[in-house]
Amino acid sequence: MPTTLEPKLITGTANIPLAKAIARRMSIHRNLGLVNARVERFNDQEIFVEVYDNVRGEDMFIIQSTSRPANDNLMELLIMADALRRSSAKRITAVIPYFGYARQDRRAKARTPISAKLVANMLVEAGVERVLTMDLHAAQIQGFFDIPVDNLYASPIFALDILHQFKDTGLNDVMVVSPDVGGVARARELAKRINAPLAIVDKRREKPGEIAEMTVIGDVSGKKCIIVDDICDTAGTLCKAAEVLMEHGATEVHSYITHGVLSGPAVERISNSVMKSLVITDSIEPTDAVKNTPNIRIVPTAPLFAQAILNIWNGTSVSSLFETETLEPAYEGLYDL
């Protein structure tokens, strides 16, 4: 069996621009490109994958978010993993920037599934031997797998962006805000990185999708508030939280969200909201509407994923990428700090 000289990248159709950006980033130091393959849908929407390049004995990385349409993109990932396994790939790593079904991580009521666990089982059965993802909705999903899972964090990227955006006005009046009690740990992590205080918006729901009441815990008067969360779907909670913060005396409200699902009326809500800016990553390929919304800005994750893939392939530490200082060289040129 030949010795693996380079990591090999292959992509589904979920987020081709991100996959190309990762390959481009890795090709700075290595002559890397995406493995030649095709993903085809038959008339009945069955998915067919054909890999043209030889992958025998290779260390393969499949880049595929399981975002909308979640079921199609998940099936693509599973079928690609099966194709690579049957083609004698040495190791298959699923690079899933956005892990779909992550919000179904527990049984909230009787006779409901734990779909995140089911997805984990299917990935392993298809031949995936390692998973690389970012900002899992629930950290315990790593325990659903019996294979290694590397969960990257967007907070180092966000910290770099905040330091760049607020370098002229300073961080003295910046406050990090968690939009709910469950996201306090995530918000506290970012607050520590930029040395800012923390506030919480406590929300109560009468039923799913409807917010009955919001209470601000902490003094936000005269502050530039930065709301931090992992997922923005319909943006109802986010826009309402921004309004409540402004009502409590905040001077500006910005939001930093890892995964911009932005379904339904989300883009319209954000464009009409009191938020000065919404910053998302490209873990989910943005639509034209998202790209053209003036107060939505997209930060790249390709440098982070490219370095993580190289570290996995080299057998070096992935957790070193959790530190903002470690990522600064990877984002050199983008952020002049």
C-alpha 91/C-alpha 327 separation (Å) is 26
Residue 236 assigned ligand-binding role? yes
The answer to whether position 315 is within a domain reads yes
Same domain, 234 and 135: no
Look up residue 38 and give its two tokens: 């095709």
168 versus 8: the higher-pLDDT residue is: 8
Query: In whole angstroms, what is the distance from residue 297 CA to residue 163 CA?
Result: 16
Confirm or deny that 173 is annotated as ligand binding: no
* 259 within domain boundaries: yes
- The answer to whether 45 is a known ligand-binding residue is yes
4 pLDDT higher than 60: no
Is 1 contained in some domain? Answer: no
pLDDT at 205 over 70: no
How is residue 108 written in tokens? 């909230």
Q: Does the pLDDT of residue 22 top 90, yes or no?
A: yes
Residue 2 clears pLDDT 80, i.e. is over it: no
Tell me which of 30-34, 147-151, 257-261 is least confident.
Answer: 30-34
CATH number of the domain residue 56 falls in: 3.40.50.2020
Q: Of 294, 239, 247, whose CA–CA distance to 269 is shortest?
A: 239
Give me the number of domains the chain comprises: 2
Checking if the pLDDT of 149 tops 70, the result is yes
Residues 148 and 61 in one domain: yes
**260 in a labelled binding site:** no
- pTM for the full model? 0.93
Domain-embedded: residue 95 = yes
**Residue 272 belongs to a domain:** yes
Annotated binding residue 161: no
The verdict on whether residue 29 carries a ligand-binding annotation is: no
Does residue 69 have a cis peptide bond before it, meaning omega lies within 30 degrees of 0?
A: yes
Q: Mean pLDDT across the chain, nearest whole number?
A: 92
Among residues 8, 117, 203, 223, the one annotated as catalytic is 203
Check the annotation: does 91 bind a ligand: no
More confident residue, 324 or 148: 148
pLDDT band at 171 (very low <50, low <70, confident <90, very high): confident
The answer to the question of residue 258 being in a domain is: yes
Do 143 and 26 share a domain, yes or no?
yes
Lookup: tokens for 176: 């990090």
pLDDT of residue 296: 97
Output the CA–CA distances (angstroms, integers) from residue 89 to 52, 241, 285, 324, in the order listed. Answer: 13, 48, 28, 34
Tokens encoding 215? 């209470």
Q: Is the domain of 168 the same as that of 92?
A: no
- With respect to residue 333, please indicate whether it lies within any of the assigned structural domains: no
The verdict on 148 and 159 lying in the same domain is: no
Q: Is the pLDDT of residue 1 over 80?
A: no
Co-location of 98 and 139 in the same domain: yes
pLDDT at position 28, please?
Answer: 74
Residue 240 is a catalytic residue: no
Coil vs helix vs strand at 299: strand
pLDDT digits (tens, 9 = 90+) for 319-333: 988 888 888 888 877
Confidence class for position 107, pLDDT limits 50, 70, 90: very high
- Domain that includes residue 210, residue range: 155-299
Answer whether residue 337 is part of any domain: no
pLDDT for res 337: 45
